[in-house]
Amino acid sequence: MNDTVHARLPLVTALIAGLVFGLGLLISGMADPAKVLGFLDLAGAWDPSLAFVMGGAIAVALPAFTLARRRQQALLTGEPMQLPTSTRIDQRLLGGALLFGIGWGLAGFCPGPALVALGMGLDQALVFGLAMLGGMVVFEVLERRA
Express each pLDDT in 50-90 by its tens digit: 999 899 999 999 999 999 889 999 887 788 988 888 899 99
pLDDT exceeds 80 at position 98: yes
pLDDT surpassing 90 at residue 145 = yes
pTM above 0.85, yes or no: no
Q: Is 109 helix (H, G, I), strand (E, B) or coil?
A: coil
Rounded CA gap, 123 and 34, in Å? 14
pLDDT > 80? residue 7: no
Question: Does residue 125 contact residue 114 with C-beta atoms inside 8 Å?
Answer: yes
Alpha helices by DSSP H, the chain: 3-28, 33-40, 49-70, 91-107, 111-119, 123-145
